[in-house]
């Protein structure tokens, strides 16, 4: 079983608006409402892959009630801590004519210390039966930047593998806590190592540096390619995967699907190269439809052979 943790859960509203222009009145051709937040997106994708998963985190107010109701309607097992302040609503506008999307995200609730204590107890309880615990997304107000790091250290002491996907200071502190896997996107990884990536060598240097900071395994994702450094049986494997070319409808949540597919493949004990190939194909498949965490496994299977996967040599310094 995998447990996903989403502190800043949301109701995600996605509107399809052809020829979207700022300052103009539009009528959406399609609307979709889902429970959202990165950890929830991962849980939705894992459910699609038939991996046992439980989604937990914080949910507050009427929006929090709706988040739980939406998850239940999708048959995604969930066990959220209810908080006093209102959970956020996020809106994405997808323009299929230009293959662009615009996201507007609220800050989210303010969390009280006693509510965080309940969440820590919930994670401790759920992790007893878990193979992995996935921490995804930003932290809401009132939560210290060290929350992920503290939780990862606690899981490490109990020999439960922790996976982290966040940004800025919570990501840096979390990496230093030695998670099993960290999966920043390009922008988050650039912020972590303090430089922009222009070529393969920059990505390789970044995965090496992030591993030196504490992460056992590192996977950096972007729209077109992913780079990973993985440690297995005293070996360090460096892989690059170039995504197949598709005509995207929406890229929202593609990284979350990629992560879910990678974890599903690793739990099934598939080799690392096959796992990354399956993950990148699933991420590409998710861009073919609207809604974070949604994809067709048949599309992912069809795209796997189009993934350009290579093992790379270490970067000389």
Mean pLDDT of 134-140: 96
179 has pLDDT over 70: yes
Nearest-angstrom CA–CA distance, 30 and 17: 8
* Pairing outcome for strands 217-221 and 225-232: antiparallel
- Residue 257 sits at φ, ψ, to 5 deg, of -65, -40
316 has pLDDT over 70: no
- Residue 95 sits at φ, ψ, to 5 deg, of -110, 100
317 has pLDDT over 60: no
Mean pLDDT of 268-284: 95
10 has pLDDT over 90: yes
pLDDT tens digits for range 29-63: 888 999 999 999 999 999 999 999 999 999 999 99
pLDDT tens digits for range 64-121: 999 999 999 999 999 999 999 999 999 989 888 887 878 888 888 999 999 999 999 9
Nearest-angstrom CA–CA distance, 234 and 250: 39
22 has pLDDT over 70: yes
Q: Please give the domain boundaries of the chain with CATH numbers for all domains.
A: 2-19+29-311 (3.40.1190.20)
User: Who's near 123: CB < 8 A, 6+ residues apart?
Assistant: 3, 5, 56, 133, 151
**What mean pLDDT is reported for the chain?**
94
**Percent of the chain whose pLDDT exceeds 70:** 99
The answer to whether 143 and 111 are in contact (CB under 8 A) is yes
The answer to whether 60 and 82 are in contact (CB under 8 A) is yes
225 has pLDDT over 80: yes
The predicted pLDDT at position 252 comes to 82
Instruction: Give residue 60's region: left, alpha or beta (phi > 0; psi -120 to 50).
Output: beta
The answer to whether 223 and 244 are in contact (CB under 8 A) is no
Nearest-angstrom CA–CA distance, 309 and 264: 19
315 has pLDDT over 70: no
Whose structure tokens read 């004519």? 97
Residue 271: band (very low, low, confident or very high) from pLDDT cuts 50, 70, 90? very high
> Which of 93-102, 176-185, 303-312 has the weakest average pLDDT?
93-102
The predicted pLDDT at position 235 comes to 87
Alpha-helix runs per DSSP H in the chain: 38-48, 61-73, 113-127, 147-157, 168-176, 186-193, 200-213, 254-267, 272-286, 297-303
């Amino acid at each position: 079983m995998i447990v996903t943790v989403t502190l800043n859960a949301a109701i995600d509203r996605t509107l399809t608006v052809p020829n979207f222009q700022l300052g103009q009145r539009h009528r959406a051709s399609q609307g979709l409402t889902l429970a959202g937040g990165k950890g929830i997106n991962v849980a939705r994708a894992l459910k699609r892959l038939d991996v046992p998963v439980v989604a937990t985190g914080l949910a507050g107010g009427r929006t929090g009630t709706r988040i739980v109701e939406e998850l239940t309607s999708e048959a995604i097992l969930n066990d959220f801590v209810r908080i006093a302040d209102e959970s956020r609503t996020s809106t994405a506008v997808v323009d299929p004519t230009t293959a662009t999307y615009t996201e507007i995200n609220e800050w989210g609730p303010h969390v009280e210390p006693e509510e965080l204590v309940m969440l820590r107890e919930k994670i401790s309880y759920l992790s007893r039966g878990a193979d992995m615990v996935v921490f995804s997304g930003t932290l809401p107000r009132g939560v210290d930047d060290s929350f992920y790091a503290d939780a990862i250290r606690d899981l490490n002491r109990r020999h439960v593998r922790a996976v982290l996907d966040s940004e800025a200071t919570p990501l840096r502190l979390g990496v230093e806590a030695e998670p099993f896997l960290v999966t920043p996107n390009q922008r988050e990884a650039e912020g972590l190592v303090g430089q922009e990536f222009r070529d393969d060598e920059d990505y390789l240097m970044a995965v090496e540096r992030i591993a030196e900071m504490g992460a056992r395994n590192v996977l950096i994702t972007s729209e077109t390619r992913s780079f990973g450094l993985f440690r297995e049986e005293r070996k360090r494997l460096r892989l690059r995967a170039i995504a197949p070319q598709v005509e995207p409808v929406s890229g929202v949540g593609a990284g979350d699907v990629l992560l879910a597919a990678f974890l599903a493949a690793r739990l099934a004990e598939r080799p690392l190269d096959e796992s990354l190939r399956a993950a990148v194909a699933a991420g590409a498949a998710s861009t073919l439809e609207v809604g974070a965490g949604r994809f067709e496994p048949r599309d992912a299977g069809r795209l796997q052979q189009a993934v350009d996967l290579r093992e790379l040599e270490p970067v000389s310094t």
